[in-house]
Amino acid sequence: NFIVTVHKLRAPGQTMTRIPLFVWATYATAIIQVLATPVLGITLLLLIAEKTLGVGIFDPSLGGDPVLFQHLFWFFGHPEVYVLILPAFGIVSNIVNANSVRPIFGTLGMAGAMLSIGFLGFIVWAHHMYTVGLDVDSRSFFSAATMVIAVPTGIKIFSWVFTIWASPVASKTNVPLLYVSGFIFLFTIGGLSGVLLANASIDIPLHDTYYVVAHFHYTLSMGAIFGVFAGFYFWAEKLWGVKYNEGIALVQFWSFFVGVNLTFFPMHFMGLAGMPRRIPDYPYIYAAWNTVSTIGSTMSMCS
175-198 vs 150-165: helix crossing angle, rounded to 10: 150
The H or E element spanning position 116 is helix 107-120
Q: CA–CA separation, 98 vs 100, rounded Å?
A: 6
Q: Determine if residue 278 is left, alpha or beta; phi over 0 gives left, psi from -120 to 50 gives alpha, anything else beta.
A: left
Per-residue confidence (pLDDT) for residue 88, from 0 to 100: 97
Mean pLDDT, residues 164-173: 77
Q: Please tell me the predicted confidence (pLDDT) of residue 14.
A: 93
At residue 167, the pLDDT reads 85
DSSP helix, strand, coil percent of the chain (3-state; round to 5): 80, 0, 20
Instruction: Evaluate if residue 101 carries a pLDDT over 90.
Output: no
Q: Which residue has the higher pLDDT, 2 or 101?
A: 2
- What pLDDT does 172 receive? 64
Q: Identify the band that residue 102 occupies on the pLDDT scale cut at 50, 70 and 90.
A: confident
pLDDT of residue 128: 97
Nearest 5 degrees, angle CA 120-CA 124-CA 129? 170
d(CA 289, CA 266): 6
Question: d(Cα 48, Cα 43) in Å, to the nearest integer?
Answer: 9
Span 268-289, mean pLDDT? 95
Residue 237 has pLDDT above 70, yes or no: yes
Considering only CA atoms, which of 39, 41, 62 is closest in space to residue 52? 62
Q: What is the pTM of this model?
A: 0.94
Q: What is the pLDDT of residue 170?
A: 61
Cα–Cα dist 50/43, whole Å:
11
Arithmetic mean of pLDDT, 21-26: 97
Average pLDDT, the chain: 95
Residue 65 pLDDT > 80: yes
The reported pLDDT for the residue numbered 194 is 96
Residue percentage of the chain with pLDDT more than 70: 99
